[in-house]
Structure 1
Amino acid sequence: MSRPRRIRHTLIAAATAVAVGLATPAAAAPPLPDAPAWHVGIPPIATKWTGQVGPNNALPEYPRPQLTRDKWQNLNGVWEFARANVGQAVPTGQSLGERVLVPYPIESALSGIQRHEDRMWYRRTFSVPATWNVGTGQRLVLHFGAVDYDAKVWVNGTQVATHRGGYDGFDVDVTGALTASGPQELIVWAEDLTDATGQPIGKQRRVGDRGIFYQGSSGIWRTVWMEPVPAASVTGLKLTPDVAAGVLRLTANVDGDTAGLQVQAVAKNGNKVVGRVTGAAGAELAVPVPNAKLWSPDDPFLYDLQVTLVSGTRQVDQVGSYFGMRSIGTQRGADGKLRIALNGKILFNLANLDQGFWPDGLNTAPTDAALKWDLQQDKAMGFNAVRKHIKVEPDRWYYWADKLGLMIWQDMPSANTGPIPAQWRDQFEAELHEMVREHQSWTSIVAWVPFNEGWGEWDRAATGRIADEVKAQDPTRLVNAHSGVNCCNSHGDSGRGDVIDFHQYVGPASPAPSGDRVAIDGEHGGFGLKTSNHMWFGDGFAYEMTPDKAALTSKYVENTKAVLTSAKMCGISASIYTQITDVEAELNGFFTYDRQVTKMDLKQVKAVNEQVIKGADGSAGNVPQPPAGTPGLTGIAFYPLDETGGTTAADAAGDNDGSLVGGAAFVAGKNGNGVSVDGGSQYIDIGKPLLNTASDYTAAAWVKLDKADGAFQTVVSQDGPTNSDFFLQYSGADQRFAMSFAGVRALGPTKPNVGQWYHLVGVRDTVKGELRLYVDGELAGTASACLPQAGPTGNTVIGRGKYGGNPVDYLDGTVDQVHLYDRALSPTEIRELYASGN
């Protein structure tokens, strides 16, 4: 009989044991020979836990905190190992030539192998305690926490399981394959081709690229263990808190003959029973939790849970568990912006990016204390959330997040950065839904993230469909369809899910909530510092390097204060800083990769983090109201450009005359004369800044293009320190008109015609946090631009822009009737201005 814990494996059942005893294969397996011995490898850098790992101390902790039993046996430790050849026969009864420490992946130093193999054999023997009564009322189940990537399992020469998937586990009932007594032989075959296939791999690569991808982890990399269970037993618990109803919704999955069986569940606060329920096995039950004490990062309270399978008055099986009562959703703040809410209250999710790699164990933390340590540092630094970045951790990582009080944004491990090949797409989706199924009961997980920066994404509509399906599978959490939808390989925003997520380095990003979706900064920061003797390659990089600890701390503090500004002005509900530790060549951690050196002043880090969480509460009045501005349609400056010669463009509204530069000349315009510029070096310089870019403003002009190709052309702008404060322009990248900031464009709908006059109006609205473009009197495009601008520093100019410190984007055409306003014109005023022809 097989016991599938996961929905996707093919489990090959051994022959069922007969009532009088266990099946007996032809020959019992020999025990492991004494030699050769296992020897730990030498990692490029070691953690403080590296030396604590050995044959008798390889992750000995109980691996499944949400479903506990008293009887179990850990099978971690020294196993035999050998490379496997294609088509090779199963080495039943044969000693293998090397020794590996399970569950550390074979590429890791802790494994003792420290190299990659595409295919591999593992072998060991084990004994079943006689007190377990296996075969006479009890079954024996083997549990594999994770094997990367394809796995097959044999017990005493009988194949009992196959499994595909590197980040989820599988279970198999091996009772029928056991011998009556003595050592039992266990052989595992694994194949991991990593980035040579379309399989989900996250950041793993067969060869680290000294960039943002890292050394892969193959084979067994989570705990292997076994336990006796009754013929009818609890195989899983689905735990869903329903705070509004005051109950825990519980489904106990039961394997075996369930006829006449019932489930009894008791919830406790210490020794005090708070609720109990009895019902059918496999049915959803409601465990009362009256006046629930709610779980939160400030108070991560957890209830104990005991679930008993009974037949009348007879106990058939019993398991222990726990749960937290909390809700996650969205609500509008006093400022009207939609934000994330925990337990019905707006709470900013201030998160660290956590990739889960270790210099000694790679995908596997050396010890449970090490696994916990990263999360403890997050809490100590004042973070209340973690983004688990395109990796899935062992159960104990989520247990510690539950216990410590950290909200988890859980990514799906991506495939390669290009589109997933068609033949692998169903597998990706199956593993995604399996990840959700396996982790749907962890209190700490508040959001699912199917895609990152378009890696693996093959179609925008498919991304939206997948987000909808995840939401249908788990409607109690947020779904972030696409982290970094503005970045990299993204196919664009599907419009689905609960979240709009931008990445920006060094950032922070500043998307705005829209409709029923909150906005978050999914990645930013990445400031780096080199730390001699604590770097994987002896060198590395970051998005912006700093010279010392003080400078790195200062950069972090400054950047995090900008997060608060983005939260107040734009309404972002979360931010994710890159990252908790250095990883291989990436030197942008709070700690070095070996966790030996603290790279920032953590007192300053905690202080600014707490300031953000407290201040980003959706309060009203965050956005200052701009002054009324100058009334009328003339504006603070107006350049009719009706002169017939000379190099002066008179200001008809005041005394801010402009100068024609580089041979720009007066020619016939839209209304009287205009100014012709050649797209090379000609423009009009006003000689000083006229628009207060820290407040609302509007720029308007008539323009006729002499060309419309891939080159940018700026009609009106104002110089900033490095880039123009704004660009009213033709965007060559889009071949449309635009009102822009550097990297932000409100675009018109169509490509303009060469030789045709157009009326352009660009509006900066600080209250709505928008740029708006009007073409010929009608709204043509909007873009979120919620962050405040600095005050003016450079000259207002007509016919060019500034980018990267240099004059750029010269207009090739004719401009006329330029107006500048110290307020945001209304749509009615813009239509009136267009109709006037001025």
Structure 2
Amino acid sequence: MHLTGSLVVSLLAATSFALPDKSAVKHVRSNSGYSLKTPPLTTPWTDKVGTDPWPEYPRPQLERSQWQNLNGVWQYENASGLDAVQSPPFGQNFSQEVLIPSCLESGLSGIQAVDALYSWFSNSFNVDSSWKGQQVLLNFGAVDYEATVFVNGKQAGFHRGGYFRFTLDVTPYVNFGQDNELLVFVHDPTDSGDYVIPIGKQTLNPNHIFYTPCSGIWQSVWIESTPATYITQLDLAADMHGQVNVTVHSSNLNTSTPVEISLLENDKVVAAHKGPSNRPFQFKVSSPKLWSPDSPHLYNVTVKMGSDTIQSYTGFRTISKGTVDGVVRPLLNGEFVFMFGTLDQGFWPDGIYTPPTQEAMVFDLQLLKDLGFNSVRKHIKVENERWYQACDQMGLLVIQDMPAMRPLQTEADGATILPNATQQAEFGRQLTILVNQLKSFPSIAVWIIYNEGWGQITNYYPEFGLTALVQSLDPTRLVDSTTGWFDHGAGDFSDNHHYANPQCGSPFYSIDSSPYDDTRIGFQGEFGGLGNNVSIEHLWNVQAAIETINQTYEIDTSIDAWNYRSHVVLGELRDQVQLFACSGGVWTQTTDVEGEVNGLMTYDRRLKRVNEKQWKSDIQALYDAADARRNNATVEASS
């Protein structure tokens, strides 16, 4: 792996809930020359994006009132190579305009680039003079993959990792009351050359289950004003017994500033506590309303540290495991919860990784909730933080994957491409960031480390050390160390993948899976995958993708046949709940993606395949079967 730049800039893992006050700042941007490119397929929201995308505050668990959104039309130029970062094009106009946030490969970007390995982005922003005496923080939701940031001709920082937010203190570089030049160099190798990095389903050569890559600034960019000593991260965990565990991280690590935290319901303070910054502390709330998929109750939170005030929220719930009538089960608030969701890829035909709008993003989740799913597996991708907030608000348990390194491939000599020691260490570093940035969202129930052996070293078993790492960072959740394939006994789940028929906690398994281990939770990490081809107006109109449609696990020739087969397969899962030790499952998948046509709805979100009455009944039957196993059973808590 090639390494560039200086030290990685420290990331702020944040948290929030408040209305923004934008009166103190003014955003200066060009808005001529940009135009939407026609993607191979659109959605109902494609034409609604405009040139002021994602106006919502991007970080809903650490929200400040003084902020300025930098999303919109920026300038873009393709760069010649990695050495280009040594000669930044300060003060120059670029040849193209690009919409931020977006993937350069998307129609929404206005670029629709191919092989966008090296890129320059430029914008200007004005910071009102009223912010003088305050710190100015520049925030990026996510940049894929490496970003070198310059402000007014000075390098402000460097960041590596395509899925994670980062913050730079740009106070020394900005001119108050004047335009400030912002220049960003992005290097995104994806799966080129000898790079082995976390990329999920992205590839420079899309083929069936691997898709168009996302390069560039694909999540929101914003600045905010803070005092000299400010909150950098808020860790919140509230359990079923009313205990709240808090760590308020400060920009000044050398001192401990007093902190005040208040929990509110309907604008009324229900609990308040004082504690130190930079050290964990706890307090109790009597008889809290618990969070669950059936009742996703949330409490607003205000945190004050000196003159810094942030808004956040939390939910009271406990995720654990225990033995129920002799079977190891996942527990929510002390009771067996049958987790049933979809494999959710988070791809969009118009935006690739970037949903066109908040409304579009929530549309997918609402479909799942309406059908009766209580969970969603975010598949080897990290979403913008408002997606997790939506799951918190709607009541969907999240099974969160770590983005996979390069999938199992072979070089010309047939050797398997796996990470070397440096690349493996980088995977562990980014896994740490994933957990730290998302661990305060109540809806997240499970962390997944490896998917189907992708990037998983098997001549020794690094999943044991990585599992211990995740558990040390977040002891409040379960860990699915290896979902599918190479299971050596790490983690809380014995997780089977099989298409189309499930093999969940059962006494039978296929040769490419592992037998059920009754010391862990029996889970069907993927199954279903039933395909149904549709007319061209609902397909990703790229010939290479269309030619791979028949690689889908099964093709049903009509939607009626697809629903019939779904009913049969879901019935098999119900039987395995009734007869064996199945504790949950993940249906493949929420939507079609490019050449995969096995979604509950098509890639454009315009055609739903599901017979809603049938699906609601079949999903409820799974819960009923789990309830029958749970009733009158004795629960023994496990560590």
Identify if the C-alpha distance between structure 1 residues 593 and 33 changes in structure 2 by more than 3 Å, giving closer, same or farther.
closer
Instruction: Report if aligned partners of 1:234, 1:252 keep a CA contact under 8 Å in 2.
Output: yes
CA distance in 1 between partners of 2:392 and 2:272 (Å): 23
Does residue 80 (structure 1) correspond to residue 75 (structure 2)? The answer is yes
Match of 1:610, SS state, is helix
User: 2:22 maps to what in 1?
Assistant: none
Q: Deviations over 1:389-409 (max 9, x none)?
A: 011111000000000000010
Structure 1 Cα separation of the partners of residues 300 and 154 of structure 2: 40
- Scaled by the length of structure 1, the TM-score of the pair is 0.67
Asked if the contact 1:333–1:618 (Cα under 8 Å) also holds between the matched residues in 2, the reply is: no
Q: 2:289 aligns with which of 290, 293, 305?
A: 293
CA distance in 2, matches of 1:522, 1:32: 45
One-letter amino acid of the counterpart of residue 529, structure 1: N
Using the TM superposition, give the Cα deviation of residue 203 of structure 1 relative to its aligned residue in structure 2, in angstroms: 0.2
Per the TM alignment, residue 254 of structure 1 is displaced from its structure 2 partner at its CA by 1.1
Q: Where in structure 2 are the equivalents of 1:282-361 lying within 5 Å?
A: 282-310=278-306, 316-334=307-325, 336-361=326-351
Residue number among 519, 535, 538 corresponding to 2:539 in the alignment: 535
Q: Is the 8 A contact 2:100 2:218 kept in 1?
A: yes
Please name the residue that 1:46 is paired with: 42
Residue 517 of structure 1: which of 507, 515, 520 is its match?
Answer: 520
Supply the distance in 1 between the matched residues of 2:31 and 2:304 (Cα, whole angstroms): 43
Report how far residue 574 of structure 1 moved.
0.9
Instruction: Label 1:468 to 1:547 Cα distance change in 2 as closer, same or farther (>3 A).
Output: same
Aligned length: 579
- The letter of the residue matching 1:594 is D
TM-score of the pair, normalised by structure 2: 0.88
> What secondary structure does 1:436 align onto?
helix
Q: Which moved further from structure 2: 356-365 or 260-269?
A: 260-269
1:109 alignment partner in structure 2: 107
Q: CA deviation at 1:430?
A: 0.7
Corresponding residue number in structure 2 for 1:172: 168
- CA–CA separation in structure 1 for the residues paired with 2:323 and 2:238: 23
The within-5 A match list for 1:157-556 is 157-196=153-192, 197-209=195-207, 211-244=208-241, 246-256=242-252, 259=255, 261-310=257-306, 316-334=307-325, 336-418=326-408, 419-459=418-458, 460-485=460-485, 490=486, 493-512=487-506, 514=517, 516-532=519-535, 533-536=537-540, 537=542, 539=546, 540-541=549-550, 542-556=552-566
- Structure 1 residue 207, shift from structure 2 partner: 2.4
Matched ranges for 1:28-67 at <5 A: 37-56=33-52, 58-67=53-62
2:412 corresponds to? none
Give the aligned partner of residue 414 of structure 2: none
Q: Which amino acid aligns with 2:202?
A: Q
Cα distance in 2 for partners of 1:297, 1:621 equals 19
Q: Provide closer, same or farther for how the CA distance between residues 184 and 563 of structure 1 changes in structure 2, counting only shifts above 3 A.
A: same
1:631: which partner in 2? none
The Cα of 1:32 is off from its aligned counterpart by 6.3
Distance 1:34-1:406 versus aligned 2 partners, 3 A rule: closer
Could you say which structure has the larger radius of gyration? 1
Change (3 A) 1:349 1:76: same
Code of the residue aligned with 1:230 in structure 2: it is P
Q: RMSD in angstroms over aligned alpha carbons?
A: 1.9
Could you tell me which runs of 5 or more consecutive residues in structure 1 were left unpaired when the two chains were aligned.
1-6, 13-30, 311-315, 623-838
Q: Which amino acid aligns with 1:214?
A: Y
User: Which of the residues 560, 566, 569 maps onto 1:559?
Assistant: 569
Residues in 1 aligned to 2:320 and 2:518: alpha-carbon distance in whole angstroms = 14
Given candidates 562, 569, 572, the residue that maps to 2:582 is 572
CA separation in 1, counterparts of 2:238 and 2:570?
33
CA contact 1:268–1:305 (8 Å) conserved in 2: yes
Tell me, yes or no, if the aligned pair for 1:386 and 1:409 is still in contact at 8 Å: yes
CA contact (8 A) 1:553 1:601 kept: yes
Tell me the SS of whatever aligns to 1:592. Answer: coil
Q: Determine helix, strand or coil for the equivalent of 2:99.
A: strand
Contact 2:128 2:177 in 1 (8 A): no
Q: In structure 2, how many angstroms separate the alpha carbons of the residues matched to 1:397 and 1:516?
A: 33
For residues 721-800 of structure 1, the aligned pairs below 5 Å read none
Please give the secondary structure, in 1, of the residue aligned with 2:461.
helix
Q: List alignment gaps of at least 5 residues for structure 2.
A: 1-5, 12-27, 409-417, 507-515, 633-639
Aligned to 1:142: 138
* Identity over aligned pairs, percent: 38
Distance 2:397 2:121 in 1: 37
Q: Which string of whole-angstrom CA distances, capped at 9 and with x for unpartnered residues, describes residues 664-717 of structure 1? A: xxxxxxxxxxxxxxxxxxxxxxxxxxxxxxxxxxxxxxxxxxxxxxxxxxxxxx
**How much does 1:515 deviate?**
5.0
1:139 and 1:241 map into 2 onto residues whose CA distance is: 31
- Alignment partner of 2:310: what SS? strand
- Asked if the contact 1:349/1:573 (under 8 Å) is kept, the reply is yes
Secondary structure of the equivalent of 2:247?
Answer: strand
1:197-233 deviations in Å (ceiling 9; x for gaps):
1011000011211x10000000100000010011011
The corresponding residue for 1:770 is none
**Counterpart Cα distance in 2 of 1:34 and 1:70:** 26
Could you tell me how far 1:236 is from its partner in structure 2?
A: 1.3
User: Distance between the aligned counterparts of 1:293 and 1:325, measured in 2?
Assistant: 7
Report how far residue 148 of structure 1 moved: 0.4
- The alignment status of 1:69 with 2:64, answered yes or no, reads yes
The letter of the residue matching 2:472 is A
CA distance 1:60–1:510, change in 2 (3 Å):
same
Are the aligned partners of 1:550 and 1:600 in contact in 2 as well (CA < 8 Å)? no
Deviation at 1:618, TM superposition (A): 6.0
| Shift of residue 33, structure 1, vs aligned partner | 6.4
- State the match for 2:415 in structure 1: none
Following superposition, the deviation at residue 70 of structure 1 comes to 1.1
SS of aligned partner of 2:627: coil
Q: Does 1:97 align with 2:95?
A: yes
Q: Which amino acid aligns with 1:517?
A: R
Equivalent AA in structure 2 for residue 94 of structure 1 = Q
Query: How many Å separate the matches in 2 of 1:579 and 1:232?
Result: 45
Out of 604, 614, 620, the position equivalent to 1:604 is: 614
Residues 1:601 and 1:179: Cα distance change in structure 2 (over 3 Å): same
Highest RCO, 1 vs 2 (Cα 8 Å, sep ≥ 6): 2
Equivalent residue, structure 2, for 1:588: 598
Matched residue of 1:205: which SS? Answer: coil
Superposed displacement of residue 34, structure 1: 6.9
The offset of 1:273, in angstroms, is 2.1
Residue pair 1:258, 1:281 contacting (<8 A) in 2 also: no
Is the Cα contact below 8 Å between 2:90 and 2:153 reproduced in 1?
Answer: yes
Contact 1:231 1:257 in 2 (8 A): no
The 1:38/1:215 distance shift into structure 2, 3 A limit, reads: same
CA contact (8 A) 1:277 1:285 kept: no
